[in-house]
Structure 1
Amino acid sequence: MEKEKKLRIIIGLVVFIIVLSVYLITLAPTASFWDCGEFIACSYILGVPHPPGTPLQVLIGRIFTLIPISREIAYRMNFYSALSGALAALFLYLVFVKVIERFKKPKSLWEKLIQHSSGAATALLASFLFTSWDCSVEAEVYSTSAFIMFFSLWVVLIWQENIGKKNNKNLLLLLVYIVSLSMGIHLLPLLVFPALFVFILLVKPKELLDSKFFIIAFALIFISITTYLYLLIRARLGPGINEVAPTTFEKLWDVFTRKQYGPTKFFPRKTATETGYNVFVAIWQQFRVYTKYFSWQFVAFPRESRVFSSTTRFLSVFATWLYAMLGFWGLWSHFKRNRKTFALIAIVLLFTSLGLVFYMNLRFSPSDTDPFHKPREVRERDYFFSVSFIFFTFFIGIGLWQIATSIIEASLKKWKFILAVCLSVLLFVFPLIPLLSNFNSHVNRRGNWVANDYGMNLLMSCDEGSILFTNGDNDTFPLWFVQEVKKFMKFDAKKHTGVAVANLSLLNTDWYIKQLKQWGVPISFTDKEIEKLRPVRIPDGEVLYVKDLAIRDIIATNAGKKLTPKDLFAPRKEFVEKYLKDYKGKFNIYFAVTVSRENMKGYNKHLKLEALAYKIVPEEGKGMVDPEKTENLLLNKFSYRSIFNENVYKDDNTIKLLSNYAAGFFSLGVYLKNKGDYEKAIEVLEFGKKFAVKDIMPFAYNLAEIYKERKEYDIAEKNLREVLEKFESGLLYYMIGQMYEEQGKDDEALMNYLKAKQSKNDRVAGYAGLASFYYSRNDTLNTTKYLREAMADGDVYGNLFRFCLTNGDTALARFLLVDYLKLKPNDESAKQLLKKLKEKKNLNNR
């Protein structure tokens, strides 16, 4: 028995070390996007994170921030997640070998070999699933939740083994305390309670009839939830992050029940609200989202957006189905062999999979390819189901053990051990597949500083002593992280330094507006007035939300003006005309480039781009840019660590964020081009093109225009051809045709115009090129021919007129209208357009 214990300890430690080593290799060096930045900052300053508050997570995190394993505070917190994930693997292995013992006590060497090798392989497989790995390399709560759940299962199995021994019931009390205490980390571990309850009923129901046990258990539950008093205590001290500000027990309850996010509703299903699906179809669609996330776990296809060969796709689908079938075989095998432990594991799987699908009532996945499927979640929610995938993997392990055992039992005695050794080695192929498939994906955060640098760069875009309106988690939490942990541009109203970050989502809550006011953000509302703020429909029919009212009050108060009720509820245009003309405030006010146009509606003409933020200015204009500041920040000040490192994986969220950098470079480049500063424009656009991962066409087009203007046709065409290799566009063929036409190469010009006409995108440019080519040569017949072809080609004809005006070809636009009126002589709008164009021509000829 002692040898068996030592063997388990050794194998368990090997599993632990392997998993921890892989996690550390791929560990994020700093804060990642979404909740990570907030969790790290809250742990470091002992703040209050978003509901349900996770007080124990913050306290444990604080301990890890004090362990000097790295100069980077965030790395210490990320290490905590990696450690938790490795511990989860360790206890999964220990639970697995105990469950196999319930099937059949291993006596021979081959039985022990298969028992331990299948247990170790299962633990490794569970650790290298995409979602569990992804949650273990950043500061999140799901790996810790998995660890607590498997630790609980291990404890209850030890209890079962020691029934009848003195003080054995104390293990059940330990379970009650540990699982209840875990509420302070996440509510997910509570889902192990039903399984533990059923298992105890099946094993020894009398244990649950002890009144003394229940009294102590309830006392332990009460003691465990006292961790939530941390939120009450810290909230009253006003930390830099103080979400919901739970300074009273009523507000503390609001945090615990997640009141801020609205009540939990099981009906209607969110997949039915806009699609009209009946309840059964809606639930089925949500289950499909779960199966989609399941298909992500073992192989890269269909999770990754890159192009896969047909062979890779086939093998990927085959592998996923193989794992799924092994899991179902394991479920059946476990059910037949031991109903008690089957209930223990299967109930947890049921609650964390189908149970959560029903309870969470999620919207459609943001990567859903069906345009009909709306509304959609703001991000992929696979992490909610990370534990269920791990528990299903447990049954995959049972299936592997069953198959290996059956094969060996059917073989001759002399071959059993050799066969067991071969099968044991083969078992480790199953965790090797996800390890290799997932390594070069989002789970590998090694060297990824994107979120950290983005937070700093966005803050640097603002002048000292500013207020910055942000949109959501990913343009707020990185800023909180660098301000609270790295003390970078932290707001101080008295010293007029730093940047006050005002999150527009939170600006709809009274507690957040009060906090901004306490920090020194100019707000004239009293606390009672803030509490009474509600969305309101103004006379022009538009709805002003609480955040809109708060923004108006900040703008007015910042300029030292008293906001009247009439102005507070005025139409946007009236408010802007009154308060932004000759605007001069104590603090500069900015909107992050990530803020939606809807949230900046009305202020657009008074916004000037400064790198990654729009500054409110008194002058009006369109596409205004501060060229000196933007150029200095983008080219000299900003940090772009890991962005150009090909070894650092960029997911869709990161690519979307890079487009914000691209937008800054593009706006500056176009501004410089229009000013005639071609040399600097080329430098800016060429550098900015590197950020435009998905859409480099605007960069290539503007660069080509500059090179074309400088008669550098070869360089211009090279830029356009590079884009055409990835994206077919009639507009680019049109520009190439124009360049050939300028050089007198008519045949090459016509060839490119024809390619533009046949293109999948922007065909209108091809018709415009061909018509213009022949019109400039007084070839009315061919000009009319292509105009008539355009008329027959869907909606191209209407776009053709706009295209001609946009590109300054008013002569062709007039000809187009004259030709059109021959066919439609009664079209009054066309007559009016033609009249205006003729008047403009006459005016220009004077």
Structure 2
Amino acid sequence: MKTYQRLNNLFGWLAFAIATIVFILTLEPTASWWDCGEYISTAVKLQVGHPPGAPLFQMLGRFFSLFAGGDTSQMAYMVNLMSALSSSFTILFLFWSITMLARKVVASDNEFSTGRMLVIFGSGFIGAMAYTFSDSFWFSAVEGEVYAMSSFFTAIVFWAILKWELAADDAHSMRWLILISYLMGLSIGVHLLNLLAIPAIVYVYYYKKYKPTTRGFITAGVGSILLLSIIMYGIIPDIVNLFSKVELLFVNSFGLPFNTGTIFFTLVIAATVITGLLFTQYGDRYRVSFYIAGSLFLLFIFSGTNSGTSFFIRAIVVGGLVTLVYYTRQHRHVLNTVILSFAFLLMGYSSFLMLVIRANANTPINENAPTDAISLLSYLNREQYGDWPLFYGPYYNAPVTKRGDGNPVYMRNDKTGKYEVVDDRKGTVSEYDPSMCTIFPRMYSDQKPSHIKAYQSWGEVEGVPVKITKNDGKTETLVKPTFGENLRFFFNYQVGHMYLRYFMWNFVGRQNDVEGHGGITDGNWVSGIRMFDEPRLGSHDKYPAYRDKNAAHNEFYFLPLLLGLAGFFYHLKRNKHDTWVVSTLFLLTGMAIVVYLNQTPFQPRERDYAYAGSFYAFAIWIGLGVAAIASWLQKLTKNLTPAAGVAIVVSLSVPAIMVSEGWDDHDRSGKFAARDFATNYIKGCAPNAILFTNGDNDTFPLWYVQEVENVRTDVRVVNYMLAGGEWYIHQMGTKVYNSEPLPFTLTPAQYDKGQNDIVPVVDLNPKQIPVPLKDVINFIANDNNRRDFGSSQPLSYIPTKVIRIPVDTDAVKASGLVPVEMYGRILPYIDFTIKKNYLYKNDLMFLDMLATNDWKRPIYFASPSAMSAVFNVDQYCHLEGIVYKFLPVKASSDYIRGLGGVSTDSCYAALMKCNNWGRLEQPDVTIDRESFRNAQIPRQSYMRLATALISKGKKAEAIEVVNTCFKFFPGDRLGYDRYTLPFAELYFNAGDTTAAVKLSRDIARELMDDVIWFRSLANGPFANQFNSDTEENLMLMQNLILLARRNNQNTFADELERELTLVAGLK
């Protein structure tokens, strides 16, 4: 036994060491795309990130960042290293979990022969290595995101319950359950995914402590779901909800100072826990104290119930607690364990206090500013993101019959010393016609027309006519999807596309990293075996070579899947109880998430990371597949030792093929794209500039380079979407580092929650005479100008659709705002037309800032296209590098709708000094899809600049610009798609015929390779899928031919025409 334990520890740490080496070798050295920049920024300086927060991740990230030794360029690497080590420890605990499970089926009698140990350790090692090299887990392991640490908590709690099972008969075995509770509480400070391990944990406890029966099995299942629900929907939000209710009671009703209720309720919880523990230790001496403290705690549970459903749920919880106390009068050790588990869960959960503390410090990143119990509740409930139906709700075309009232929003008012209602939320809850609702609604979103189209496509919706009565009494016939079509969408899209596809990526193979939406070219799973791939994805015979270059194209030939299935059936045969435990973990972290998320079509990115726990469970069966093979071979050889050796050698092919196929697309060791792009955005702005951004990838990397690497902290980055929140506007009104506050006329109170959330635009200007923007803002600032629009309170409004911003020509020249070459085009004023009938708070903030700024600080946009949907700002935006500068100069002939014009000299100076674009030109750097997408932004800037230079006769500079573009973004690395064709024309127009012909030939090759493949599919099930793509490619080929002839390259044009004729004639 001691030998087994030593070897078990040794091989576990060996798996850990291999995983650590792999993850460090492939670790991204800086911040990556999406949320990584935000998480690293909030970790390094302990700031407040997006709801619902990850405080434990941030505190540990802060600790790891200290090892950078003050080198700001290495802090991101250290936070990424934390993810790598979290992942390595995940592999360590996975190894030990597999060996514990394998031991129960291979050596249940605790006799450890050489053969048995080979099987056990081989199972652990193969399963651990397979998960190490699985696509989704490896991706999360090498970046500064929460999912690596979340996987660690899933692994350690599952290992802990298996350790408890081994020691369940010991006197102090309950300490394992208390440890699990503490780990669960800690994991809440990283991600809620870990809570989904609770049902598996309950089943381990059930099978160990009770004789299994059908009734007991069902009871354990129901109890586990109830426990999960109590923690997820009760303790996590409701503890904070109770704090907020008690705080309101003490402050608003009793007139006590702020935070008195919070302090008092903290004491009540502490008293309940302490007296409860004393009661379980010393008996009746503390019974009365426990009952008094507990009764006070239960009294507060019922305080503030504002609905029958809430009261009913809390009554059930209270009833369960009272029953538990009654039952445990004679089993006080059980009550002791429950109280300790609750206390340690709260201790772990208390990491969220860091967010409140740091929010009160008003850190530069302070999302939603959860400064007290009331705002923390909103933060934890993710109220800014809204909710979605799960068990009952509308279809996408259900009409709203009425609007109910939501919960009022309170805000602290230091002047009155009370929490005041700033938004009564009246009429904010939509209620739908019941005839257009369904149980288990899957097709519910009407947010975008693309959602509805996708619902109809994935669900093959034909529907049935349903007559409804509208609010005006008239009837209308709508097409209601059937429940079968609802389920078809669920299985086809939510299960098949958004879960099983990801599962197959990890254990069968992946087509590429291009986000897929159901077509056969992007984001599918592949195996490498044509008989399984070609019926779904078409013949590979004439598949374009450039498409096969995608580094994420991985083929595993079903080997991991087959080994996992072998392990599953072997496990099922040898130990049904443990099989169900692992299956519970597999289903709850897979299918249950699918049901809960209820995802809409066209997600902004792939979501495979959400299901890593499910893939973790399957890796257990991959490990047990070694035991399955050894068992089958033993029947042939009659000797377990050689059978085990052969099984291990054969099974090693699984992690071997996974690492060999996956290394190139998971190796991020040379990637700097997110950091370099962000730096170029920031450095492209003038001193003390204001830079408006829109999405995650033009905001979070910028936060990172400013917050962590201290790049140009004089520039104020303003995310236009976040500016819809009053907390964000308030932060914009304060000085941060070297950036002065944004200039506003409206007071902070006029931007508070519930104030000016919507500002109607009432056109009281029939002659359409432009009104000075300052006058408009002053009109809004005067609360006496509010009008009744049928809402719960009068609203401020804008009395005109045409506004004017005057320009002091001398002042803008003197400040250097306008480039010298544009002096002759400076306008005395610029006029805007408001394109909507109402403005949101961020739109009002923008107008207020424009009016108050009065051209003093330079204003830039990462892209003006989103804002130009509301105001025609794009007409006054001019490209400088990769940012657009807002100037009192109208864009001229180089204007593009939504993007503005080009400030040629400034743009040339900015782009030609940008020498770092993430090393995308280097062959040792894999260009991931997000880097590819973002690379199109500077490529477009180079193209527009070259076009502007040619129009001014500066052909040599234009060639230099295009050459520079292809130096950093070479076509053989980023492809020769239709967006590359304008560069060929630029070469021709600038006089570099040789380069133009070469580029045109490269473009033509990819165009025709695609058409050849499309035509090869003409007689199969995909016959019509590429008609439009084929026509587009043929048209682009015609354009290349015309371009060549127009530039007297007739021989080359004839060459292209022959190829076009040949390819166009294919059938």
* Band the TM-score falls in, shorter-chain normalisation: 0.7 to 0.9
Cα deviation, residue 346, structure 1: 1.8
Q: Which residue of 2 aligns with 1:281?
A: 488
Matches of 1:171 and 1:742, distance apart in 2: 79
Q: Which residue of 2 aligns with 1:145?
A: 150
Contact 1:31–1:40 (8 Å) recurs in 2: yes
| Equivalent residue number for residue 64 of structure 1 | 64
| Mean CA deviation greater in 668-677 or 273-282 | 273-282
- Report the Cα distance in structure 1 between the residues aligned to 2:674 and 2:668, rounded to whole angstroms: 11
The partner residue of 2:112 within 97, 107, 111 is: 107
Q: 1:842 maps to what in 2?
A: none
Q: Does residue 719 of structure 1 match 2:943? A: no
Change (3 A) 1:290 1:698: closer
Query: Helix, strand or coil for the counterpart of 1:501?
Result: strand
Paired residue for 1:820? Answer: none
Superposition pairs for residues 566-605 of structure 1, below 5 Å?
Answer: 574-575=802-803, 582=829, 584-593=854-863, 596=866, 599=869, 601-605=871-875
User: 1:295: which partner in 2?
Assistant: 504
How far off its partner does 1:598 sit? 5.0
Cα pair 1:271 1:362 within 8 Å, conserved: no
Q: Which runs of 5+ in 1 are unaligned?
A: 365-375, 491-497, 542-551, 762-846
Measured in 1, the distance between the counterparts of 2:691 and 2:44 equals 23
Give the CA deviation at 1:122.
Answer: 0.4
Asked whether 1:389 is paired with 2:615, we answer yes
Specify the alignment match of 1:450 in structure 2: 673
Q: In the alignment, what sits opposite 2:322?
A: none
Q: 2:718 aligns with which of 502, 519, 527?
A: 502
Q: How many residues align?
A: 726
Counterpart of 2:711 in structure 1 is 488
Q: Give the counterpart letter for 1:262 in structure 2.
A: G
CA distance in 1, matches of 2:368, 2:874: 31
> Which amino acid in 2 is paired with 1:113?
L
- Decide whether the 8 Å contact of 1:271 with 1:286 is kept in 2: no
Partner of 1:400: 626
**In structure 2, C-alpha distance between the alignment counterparts of 1:168 and 1:144, rounded to whole Å:** 26
Q: How does 1:90-101 map to 2 (within 5 A)?
A: 90-101=92-103
Q: In terms of mean alpha carbon deviation, does 353-362 or 343-352 score higher?
A: 343-352
Give the match's secondary structure for 1:94.
Answer: helix
More deviation, 178-187/698-707: 698-707
- Measure, in 1, the Cα distance between the counterparts of 2:140 and 2:857: 40
- Which secondary structure state, in structure 2, belongs to the residue aligned with residue 473 of structure 1? coil
Letter in 2 for 1:234: R
CA distance in 1, matches of 2:82, 2:909: 39
Residue of structure 2 equivalent to 1:840:
none
2:744 is aligned to 523
Taking the aligned partners of 1:729 and 1:74, their CA distance within structure 2 comes to 47
Distance 1:461 1:135, change over 3 A: same
- The aligned counterpart of 2:815 is none
**Paired amino acid for 2:708:** V
The letter of the residue matching 1:499 is V
Counterpart of 1:140, as a letter, is E
Kindly indicate whether residue 163 of structure 2 is the aligned counterpart of residue 162 of structure 1.
Answer: no
Q: Deviation of residue 85 (structure 1)?
A: 0.6
Give the Cα separation in 1 of the matches to 2:123 and 2:163. Answer: 21
**Distance in structure 1 (CA, Å) of the matches to 2:14 and 2:857:** 58
Q: Distance in 2 between matches of 1:744 and 1:434?
A: 49
TM-score, normalising length: structure 1: 0.79
User: Which runs of 5 or more residues in structure 2 are unaligned?
Assistant: 211-327, 395-440, 446-451, 460-484, 515-520, 534-554, 736-740, 765-769, 787-795, 808-826, 831-853, 896-900, 1008-1032
Change (3 A) 1:409 1:469: same
Deviation, 1:400, is 3.2
Shift in CA distance, 212/707, structure 1 to aligned 2, threshold 3 Å: closer
Matches within 5 A, 1:467-486: 467-486=690-709
Q: How far off its partner does 1:737 sit?
A: 4.9
Structure 2 SS opposite 1:78: helix
Question: AA paired with 1:676?
Answer: G
Cα shift at 1:739: 5.2
Amino acid across the alignment from 2:829: D
| TM-score calculated relative to the size of structure 2 | 0.63
Residue 462 and residue 291 in structure 1: after superposition, are their counterparts in 2 closer, same or farther (change >3 A)?
same
Distance 1:224 1:680, change over 3 A: same
Distance change (3 Å), C-alpha of 1:311 and 1:170? closer
Match status 1:180 vs 2:404? no
Please tell me the residue identity of whatever aligns with 1:261: Y
Task: State percent identity of aligned pairs.
Answer: 27
> 1:756 deviation in Å?
7.0
Return closer, same or farther for 1:742/1:246 CA change in 2, 3 Å cut-off.
closer
Work out whether residues 556 and 563 of structure 1, in 8 Å CA contact, stay in contact via their aligned partners in 2: no
**Structure 1 residue 665 and structure 2 residue 942: aligned?**
yes
1:773-788 to 2 correspondences below 5 Å? none
Q: Let me know the Cα RMSD of the aligned residues.
A: 3.4
Aligned position for 1:429: 653
> Residue 471 of structure 1 contacts residue 594 of structure 1 at CA under 8 Å; is this kept in 2?
no
Q: CA deviation at 1:533?
A: 2.3
Please state how far the C-alpha of 1:469 moved relative to its aligned partner.
1.0
User: Given the alignment, which residue of 44, 60, 77 partners 2:79?
Assistant: 77
Matches of 1:286 and 1:24 in 2, distance apart? Answer: 34
Q: In the alignment, what sits opposite 2:791?
A: none
Residue deviations 1:514-547 (CA, integer Å, cap 9, x gap): 1112231112232332121224554589xxxxxx
Determine if contact 1:95/1:154 at 8 Å carries over to the other structure.
yes
**2:505/2:525 contact within 8 Å kept:** no
Cα distance in 2 for partners of 1:208, 1:124 equals 44
Shift of 1:593: 2.9
Letter in 1 for 2:631: T
Confirm or deny: 8 A CA contact 1:47 1:239 kept in the other structure. yes
* Partner residue, 1:682: 959
Structure 1 pair 758–35 and aligned structure 2 pair: CA distance change class (3 A): same
1:788 aligned partner? none
2:557 is aligned with 1:333: no
Measured in 2, the distance between the counterparts of 1:512 and 1:245 equals 8
Q: Deviations over 1:628-661 (max 9, x none)?
A: 2221221114422412112111122111100001
Q: Contact 1:670–1:702 (CA<8 Å) still a contact in 2?
A: no
1:333 to partner: Cα distance? 2.8
Alpha-carbon shift at residue 417 of structure 1 (Å): 2.5
Match of 2:359 among 229, 235, 238: 235
The answer to whether residue 586 in structure 2 is matched with residue 349 in structure 1 is: yes
User: Do the aligned partners of 2:572 and 2:579 also contact (CA within 8 Å) in 1?
Assistant: yes
Cα distance change, pair 355–538 in 1 and its aligned pair in 2 (3 A): same
1:759 to 1:708, Cα distance in 2 relative to 1, 3 A: farther
In structure 1, the residue matched to 2:12 is 12
Q: 1:590 to 1:270 in 2, by over 3 A?
A: farther
Contact 2:48/2:355 (8 A) holds in 1: yes
- TM-superposed CA distance for 1:752, in Å, is 6.1
Is the helix fraction higher in 1 or 2? 1
Query: 1:563: how far off?
Result: 6.1
Residue 314 in 1 paired to residue 530 in 2? yes
2:868/2:874 contact within 8 Å kept: no
Deviation at 1:222, TM superposition (A): 2.1
Match of 1:547 in 2: none
Secondary structure, aligned partner of 1:609: strand
Superimposed CA distance per residue, residues 196-218 of structure 1 (whole angstroms, 9 cap, x where no aligned partner): 12221221269998112112222
1:261 — aligned with what?
385
Does 1:33 pair with 2:38?
no
SS of structure 2 residue aligned to 1:465: coil
2:333 & 2:955 partners in 1: Cα distance? 85
Q: Secondary structure at the match of 1:650?
A: coil
Cα deviation, residue 708, structure 1:
5.6
Letter of the 1:473 counterpart:
D
TM superposition shift of 1:582:
3.4
Deviation string for 1:490-526 (max 9, x for gaps)? Answer: 1xxxxxxx21111122112121111112231112232
Deviations 1:589-627 (A, max 9, x none): 111038536557511111111111111111112422222
